[in-house]
Structure 1
Amino acid sequence: MKALHFGAGKIGKGLIGNLLNKTGYEVCFVDVNQEMIDCINKRNSYSVELLDEEHSVEIISPVSALNSITQKEKVIEAIVNVDIITTSVGVVNLPNIARVLAEGLLDRIAQNRKKIDVIANENAINASLTLKKEIEQIISVEEMTQINSHVGFPNSAIDRLALSKKGDQGEIALVEPFFEWVINKSEMVNFDLPLISNAIYVENLKPYIERKLYIVNMGHAATAYLGFLTGESTIAKALRNPEVERIVRAAMVESSQYMIETYRSDSQEMIEFIEKTLKRFKNSNISDEILRVGRSPIRKLGYEERLVKPARELFKLGLPFENLAASIAAGYLFNNPEDEESFALQSYIRENGIDKAISHFSQIEHAKMKEMITKHYDKMKNNHKMTH
């Protein structure tokens, strides 16, 4: 079995390529980084190091790689002949691979090959649908009709912290022990292949996407913003502060109530998921910097985003959101002059005040909600540093 994967980056090698290889696929990566491509082809393998106590290293083989710019014809040929196509190029780069994918898929159809699924694994909601729309924009209606009848674009949700380091045998992917790859089975067209090893297949992806955004990503951001106020440098160090851990855990529990109310999620499963997530955050083998996790606070404090959406929904339901409010307040105190959004946010607050900032950036207008956030904001601002 053969798989073609666009993007030989950290997630491509540390999660997608890794699991495809374990399923029995010979994986061919498509990238533009010639050094990375040469490194993979020289050894027909690459290394993945687990960020656990043992730091065990796994060799992923057999693998190969192609350059999408200089080896376009070979990429098209591969699209025709493989069994599955996956991506992890970053959602902004999906337009860059749409043309070669369209050409390859149309060639494949002309040669009467079997149906194929294309799974975009990007840190964005419905990335496969986004990729499909990019293809739609550059080909004719007739050609798109052909693709729609032969190609599935199942959406997915992925979760694994992946970093990298230079080794004497090229770049090594560094990954945390936890991972999740959830695939929407109802959007697939090829059911002749074995299920991908350790992937989860579901009929409805939305609960998984929202659980990641409103519990994992929310908790991560909350830790960064609260940790910033304690003067800590990493997520793991921030959670050593009992008060930071208490607020973050309580905010995650509050957010899980939104999941329980909306999707009838099992409350015990939610508690277990929260504890597992906190354990991931506390992994001292991962140097997860607070300034990195907290960056782009304007986006992260948005109306539909990780901190504000669950708080709004809980407020509407008449359920507690005190710790989410504290986490939002901490977000408004995140002051990193080197981060463009943080600089803009602090400038706006200085000129207009926190009340207007909450209306402007989070679009929260309800007086009681704003009152709770500003109460925490004022208290944290006056304390400067939370108790160690």
Structure 2
Amino acid sequence: MRKVTIIGAGRTGRGTFGELFFSEGGFDIAFADINADLVRALREQGYFVTKQTDLDTGAFKQIRVDGFEVFDVRADRGAYLRRLADSEFVAIAVFPASFDAVAQDLADMIRLRIEEGMTNKAAVIIGGNFVGLRSYFEGALEKLLDAGELAVLDGQVALITSKANRKVTFSSDPDAEPLALEGDDKPILPVEDRFFFDEGYEYPSFFQRSNDVELSMAEKIWSENLLHCSLGFMGAYKGYEYLNDAASDELCADLAGKAWREGRRALEAEFGIPVPDDSLLETMLGKFGSPYFRDRIERVVRQPIRKLCRGERFLGPALLCLKHGIMPFFILRAAAYGFFVPNTGDEQAAKIEEILASMPLENAVVTITGLNPSVPDEAIACRLLVGFAQEIQCLEGAEKPKPAEGEITR
């Protein structure tokens, strides 16, 4: 059987890459992760269940994925690298903070292929909500490999950007099996058509090969993900538990929609991507508000510092707006709610709390976002974020009930 190794056994690794390769059939699947507890759980259970739901009708199907191997990236290092070297496909499903570690794994894989005299063609399918995925990994590998090793990479192992665009969460069913996942029912995986396989090669049927996936990723992150996370940040501030509730809130939906339109105008100005009519916005809000998919806001807003950084779903399109003379008023208004994401155990939310409490707001915004106030466009973004954060604080104070006469205040 053809081997595929999926680096990252979380929601996207299992619920998108894992399920798609399993349902295709004919693949020997392995997962690899640094989370020893997750590795142990997958080994002991030996399977997991995914549920894909049509967000328009509620129709769903459940797939039990089994028969896979699992590697601990650290504890099983030798066997893990051997598996990577032997794989026809390597799929990456990790957060950006782990990109450099995975690049090191790929560099070690290349060296092992050279040692073993391997010349078979392979493909590394890179997944993640990140603009410039392939460029990032190419740059990281150029620093890790010498000229001869890079020649082997460039001739034998194709780096392929993918758009893993399923919405995958842990199951919301209290009676669900351990490790169960649920999401929408997208049956395809858009991938760059940069493979090195010979003519006549049989690609997985779920691959949707095209030459514009990198551009499509920028469009997705700086418009759809912008809308999604705007709803999440505002919904979290208002105390909603599920994204459905935020999408059904008239004010949240209106402000998020206006942010989306600003992002679309920036994409048109930079890349020539036409601004769609409002029917697309209505469709997306309808899917986010679907009663058939309960997406926890806690999941949507996790790692808020990452989401507020340059190049991400807020500052990426905001700075693109400023570059083209478009004021990103609503994008940065939505982003400002990210400074007030409730701390429910997320390390980055706790870090934001700590930063806001330890320095003036102007300095806190720079520290959290990484913006450089000496750069004109970034200085404008900083000032807007500070103003919107102050507005939120003022409104929060105004909404607090005044103490009754004689009541002691703190």
**TM-score, normalization by structure 1:** 0.79
Aligned to 1:210: 218
Q: Unaligned regions of 5+ residues in structure 2, if any? A: 34-38, 400-410
Instruction: Give the drift of 1:249.
Output: 1.1
- The reply to whether residue 171 of structure 1 matches residue 172 of structure 2 is no
Instruction: Give the drift of 1:255.
Output: 0.6
Secondary structure in structure 1 of the residue aligned to 2:110: helix
Q: Is the CA contact (8 Å cut-off) linking 1:119 and 1:128 kept in structure 2?
A: no
- 1:281-309 C-alpha deviation (Å, 9 max, x unpaired): 22334443334432433333233332123
**Structure 1 residues 101 and 125: CA distance shift in structure 2, 3 A:** farther
Aligned to 1:150: 156
Return the alpha-carbon distance in structure 1 between the equivalents of residues 151 and 382 of structure 2.
Answer: 50
Q: Is the CA contact (8 Å cut-off) linking 1:37 and 1:65 kept in structure 2?
A: yes
Instruction: Give the drift of 1:344.
Output: 4.1
Return the alpha-carbon distance in structure 2 between the equivalents of residues 5 and 259 of structure 1.
Answer: 34
Instruction: Give the drift of 1:327.
Output: 0.9
Q: Is the CA contact (8 Å cut-off) linking 2:163 and 2:191 kept in structure 1?
A: yes
Aligned to 2:50: 48
Q: Is the CA contact (8 Å cut-off) linking 1:85 and 1:117 kept in structure 2?
A: yes
Return the alpha-carbon distance in structure 1 between the equivalents of residues 380 and 91 of structure 2.
Answer: 46
- The reply to whether residue 5 of structure 1 matches residue 9 of structure 2 is no
Q: 2:68 aligns with which of 38, 58, 64?
A: 64
Q: 2:352 aligns with which of 324, 345, 362?
A: 345
Aligned to 1:282: 289
138-147 or 175-184: bigger deviation: 138-147
Q: 1:264 aligns with which of 267, 272, 275?
A: 272
**Aligned residue type for 1:58:** I
Return the alpha-carbon distance in structure 1 between the equivalents of residues 384 and 176 of structure 2.
Answer: 53
Aligned to 1:189: 196
Q: Is the CA contact (8 Å cut-off) linking 1:66 and 1:74 kept in structure 2?
A: no
Return the alpha-carbon distance in structure 2 between the equivalents of residues 244 and 86 of structure 1.
Answer: 35
Return the alpha-carbon distance in structure 1 between the equivalents of residues 80 and 349 of structure 2.
Answer: 44
Aligned positions of 1:176-255 closer than 5 A: 176-178=184-186, 181-185=189-193, 187-191=194-198, 192-255=200-263
**Structure 1 residues 253 and 179: CA distance shift in structure 2, 3 A:** farther
Instruction: Give the drift of 1:15.
Output: 1.2
Give the number of aligned pairs: 377
Return the alpha-carbon distance in structure 1 between the equivalents of residues 49 and 250 of structure 2.
Answer: 37
**Aligned residue type for 1:243:** L
Instruction: Give the drift of 1:168.
Output: 8.1
- RMSD (CA atoms): 3.8
- 1:167-219 C-alpha deviation (Å, 9 max, x unpaired): 8876333222347633221x321154334334332324332221222123222
**TM-score, normalization by structure 2:** 0.75
Q: 2:109 aligns with which of 95, 101, 104?
A: 101
Identity %: 14
Return the alpha-carbon distance in structure 1 between the equivalents of residues 125 and 113 of structure 2.
Answer: 14
- The reply to whether residue 323 of structure 1 matches residue 330 of structure 2 is yes
Q: Is the CA contact (8 Å cut-off) linking 1:160 and 1:180 kept in structure 2?
A: no
Aligned to 1:383: 395
Aligned to 1:84: 89
**Aligned residue type for 1:48:** T
Q: Is the CA contact (8 Å cut-off) linking 1:2 and 1:25 kept in structure 2?
A: yes
Return the alpha-carbon distance in structure 1 between the equivalents of residues 208 and 225 of structure 2.
Answer: 20
**Aligned residue type for 1:4:** V
